[in-house]
Chains A and B, each alone.
Chain A
Amino acid sequence: MADSSQKTLRIREFPIDENPGHTYLNHEKGILSWLFTVDHKRIGLLYLGSVILFFFVGGMLALLLRTELLTPAQSIVDADTYNQIFTLHGAIMIFLFIIPSIPAALGNFFLPMMIGAKDVAFPRLNLASWWIYIFGALFALYSIITGAVDTGWTFYTPYSTQTGTSVVSMTLAVFILGFSSILTGLNFIVTLHKLRSPGLSWSKMPLFLWSLYATAVIQILATPILAITVLLLAMERILGIGIFDPSLGGDPVLFQHFFWFYSHPAVYIMIVPAFGIISELISTYSRKTIFGYWAIALSSLAIAFIGFLVWGHHMFVSGQSELSSVVFSFLTFFVGVPTGIKIFNWVATMYKGSIDLKTPMLYALAFLFLFTIGGLTGIMIGALSINVHLHDTYYIVAHFHYVMMGGTVIAMLGGLHHWWPKMTGKMYNEFWGRITCGVIFLSFNMTFLPQFIMGSQGMPRRYFNYVDQFQGLHQFSTIGSYLLGVGFVMMAVYLLWSLFKGPKAPSNPWKARSLEWMTSSPPTHHNFEYTPVILHGPYDHHKPMKEFRMGVAEESESPDVIEIDKDPA
């Protein structure tokens, strides 16, 4: 359709339909219209539903583990089952929940809206990636039924080549899930490069999108290595190819190198999108332009880059050479620099801001607190001498839960509340939102702070039994985990209530400045009725809301004229 006609550019108050009769939710009806939709918003919700389901499953497994650890000896399950449960908890939380969580759910929904596009670049590929994800999940389910894996989510050889459990089907599930992750990343990169609206330069991109971009780069570059690693592991079990199996002349440390070459960058696939959400939240609820836009944007890319050079810090006691350990330790400290840049810029954004302690902002503050603990303990275990002492203890467990749950999950909850009105068109209850945030914050610390103490005293991770001296701390941690469960149930209740009975949400309840708020709640099928032309930055809080205008591009009668309709006042 060689559409050569010029577009008229008009600047005007954008009249947002506050009560749209026609939205993406009622555009089509029926279960099939959801399962085979190519609308990025619906696919985002499909992902959101799926990751919440797997978060629930993984969470239940975690509660089982914590219950078992109430007593030093056997409490409710036997030792082999315990191994299977912690493996499944890890594998489900990592591969089925946290990797797709923010990018594939919230990112899918908001990335096209934030750049004023109608959809991602490849909508059918987007749907395919969700189906591939479900297919991978079914494979994982199959392996659970036929003999749940007991290797830990890391599948270290040689044990993973010897155990009688279904390692092959589990690794194939991981292979398939990785494919889904690659397709999402590919889609996002192309969309951000090619589908930005007129006027939306790279410097006007919301920081959430910069973080998704950095994430997508990692997904593209790291996931193929995981694919070949698990493929080789599967072949090791099926054919005994002897690449990783020492009894056949292979090298198990090589497996660890391969595995962590993906899985360390994958840590940044999990946390970098969370950074993006925090940037949005802190600026919006401080009513202030983000401090150090480029510093935050580029530090995401810096983390993505340095993240590829630090995988060896998982292997300080695995028998790699001393020199490589020293180099990896040094590079690990480097990751702290761009991360620190982000934290300081967020705090500087809040300085003299007009801070509004709405639920999403509470989550952002909780994130700053918890992630700082998680990050700084990460620096400690990056130091060689300390690592030898703390390796494979509960200190590590506490560290990565502070980063992954205290960081990613808390940020995702903040984002979920922030964008809830936009996604559903309903407001949630602010009072219960704040209470629940408090419950989750406190119970999270109850659960995982004791684990730092136990770990530093020598409690090894993944152990079924423990010496009596740790019982008090273990029980404290278990009670914390139950309260954490209660917190999530409270959230489920008030969010479901909001979904069915909540008051109608306005188009921009938080007075945010980025593009997704410049359309109705919930959005229409094509997000915007016109092609928006972007005139303002995503954090222009210094401009009053009533001056906040957006250009619209319209089909022009006279092809050569570009009229700019100046301020009507």
Chain B
Amino acid sequence: MANQSVATEKKSHLQHHFVDEDQQFESSKMGMWIFLVTEVLMFGGLFVAYIIYRAWHPDLFYEAAQELDVALGATNTVVLIASSLTIALAIRAVQLDKIKAAINYMAATILLAGTFMVIKYFEYMDKFGKGIYPGESYTYDGLEHEMAANFFSIYYMMTGLHGIHVIIGMVLIGWMIIKAKKGLVHSGYYTPVENTGLFWHLVDIIWIFLFPLLYLID
């Protein structure tokens, strides 16, 4: 329609069924928030399972949590909080048209996310080495409690699902870097970067709940 008349070198991203950019931006953002609600609720199911089993077997959770490495968990917490900062800085940079800085911040976020995954990998490998596998394959005999395998099932389900989200987040941020390099996001249109940032904050905040619930049982 009036796309040609817009005297700017930036490509318009307005889709045909929206009246203007504001409507499109607000719609996308609202959609993203609703999606995050569904994510929270999906993890909510696991949190409920956690609460119920902890209420039934408080001693199990106390004993089994001693097997987890608090230092590594704490490091990962710091790493993820730092990554939330870098993605927020990336969004700000895109809004200010500092595309190069934005790309660097996003790359830093991916790097931090990668660090998280590597630490998580060593944690998992350490557990597997002891025979602490999820579910029926559990063979570790260092814990007295007969329900020990159940705690680690919940541990693996929660951190595993979270890990999958970290990987999805890394892919999304990588995609945003490509978009930024192609000049597809700028101060006039930063919706996808903002929404990716929202997703990343969710990944971060879930870990902030997981860390004390799993590692810091006292």
Contact = CB atoms under 8 A, between A and B. Distances in A.
Interface of A: 1-3, 117-123, 125, 182, 186-187, 189-191, 193-195, 220-221, 223-225, 227-229, 231-232, 235-236, 239-243, 248-251, 254, 258, 526, 531
Contacts of A1: 2-3, 6, 12, 14, 20-21
Given A1-B12, A223-B38, A241-B134, A228 B46 contact: yes
Given A225-B45, A228-B43, 18 more contacts: A1-B2, A1-B6, A1-B21, A2-B21, A118-B16, A121-B27, A220-B34, A220-B37, A223-B38, A224-B39, A224-B44, A241-B156, A242-B150, A242-B153, A243-B157, A248-B136, A249-B146, A250-B150
B41 A224 contact: yes
Contacts of B14: 1
A117 B135 contact: no
B78 interface: no
23 contacts: A1-B2, A1-B14, A118-B17, A119-B16, A121-B27, A122-B31, A182-B38, A187-B31, A193-B27, A194-B26, A195-B18, A195-B27, A224-B38, A224-B41, A225-B42, A235-B135, A241-B134, A241-B156, A242-B153, A243-B153, A248-B136, A251-B52, A258-B48
Interface residues of B, number: 46
Contact of B27 (A190, A224, A239): A190
Contacts of B150: 241-243, 248-250
Nearest to A228: B45
Contact of A239 (B43, B48, B136, B147): B136
A187 B30 CA distance: 10
A526 B1 CA distance: 14
B16 to A, nearest CB: 7
Contacts of A243: 49, 53, 150, 153-154, 157
B63 to A, nearest CB: 15
B17 A123 contact: yes
Contacts of A227: 42, 45
A194 B149 contact: no
Contacts of B46: 228, 232
Contacts of B16: 118-119, 526
Nearest to B160: A235
Given A122-B31, A189-B34, A225 B41 contact: yes
Nearest to A223: B38
B41 A248 contact: no
Contacts of B140: none
B161 to A, nearest CB: 8
Interface in B130-160: 134-137, 146-147, 149-150, 153-154, 156-157
A452 to B, nearest CB: 36
Contact of B17 (A195, A235, A241, A254): A195
Contacts of B39: 224
B27 to A, nearest CB: 4
A195 B28 CA distance: 12
B35 interface: yes
Contact of B6 (A2, A122, A182): A2
B112 to A, nearest CB: 27
A557 B150 CA distance: 71
Interface of B: 2-3, 6, 12, 14-21, 23, 26-28, 30-31, 34-35, 37-39, 41-46, 48-49, 52-53, 134-137, 146-147, 149-150, 153-154, 156-157, 161
B194 to A, nearest CB: 15
Contacts of B20: 1-3
A333 B39 CA distance: 31
A121 B33 CA distance: 14
B2 to A, nearest CB: 6
Point out which of B2, B49, B52 has the most chain A C-beta atoms below 10 A from its C-beta.
Answer: B49
Nearest to A236: B135
A195 B23 contact: yes
Contacts of A235: 134-135, 153, 157
A526 B17 CA distance: 8
Contacts of B161: 231
A555 to B, nearest CB: 8
B23 A194 contact: yes
Contact of A190 (B34, B37, B42, B154): B34
B17 A117 contact: yes
A232 B15 CA distance: 39
A496 B26 CA distance: 42
A529 to B, nearest CB: 13
Contact of B45 (A224, A239, A251): A224
A463 B17 CA distance: 53
A248 B135 contact: yes
A476 B218 CA distance: 65
A254 B52 contact: yes
A225 B23 contact: no
A506 to B, nearest CB: 27
Contacts of B31: 121-122, 125, 186-187, 190
Contacts of A125: 31
A182 B39 CA distance: 11
Contact of B149 (A118, A242, A526): A242
Contacts of A250: 150
- Taking each of A3, A221, A248, A531, which has the highest tally of chain B beta carbons within 10 Å of its own beta carbon? A3
B157 A232 contact: yes
B32 to A, nearest CB: 9
Contacts of B45: 224-225, 227-229, 232, 258
B36 to A, nearest CB: 11
A120 B153 CA distance: 41
A123 B153 CA distance: 39
Contacts of A3: 2, 19-20
Contacts of B136: 239-240, 242, 248
A250 B39 CA distance: 25
A228 B48 CA distance: 11
B162 to A, nearest CB: 13
Contacts of A221: 37, 41
Nearest to A5: B2
A214 B61 CA distance: 40
Contacts of A232: 45-46, 49, 157
A5 to B, nearest CB: 9
For the complex of A and B, 3 pairs with smallest distance between CB atoms? A228-B45, A240-B136, A239-B135
B37 A248 contact: no
Contact of B30 (A190, A228, A231, A241): A190
A239 B14 CA distance: 47
A241 B146 CA distance: 14
A545 B17 CA distance: 29
Contacts of B35: 186
Contact of B42 (A2, A118, A195, A224): A224
B153 A241 contact: yes
Contacts of B18: 195
A41 to B, nearest CB: 12
B38 A248 contact: no
Contacts of B30: 189-190, 193-194
Q: Which of B38, B41, B46, B154 has the most CB of A within 10 A?
A: B38
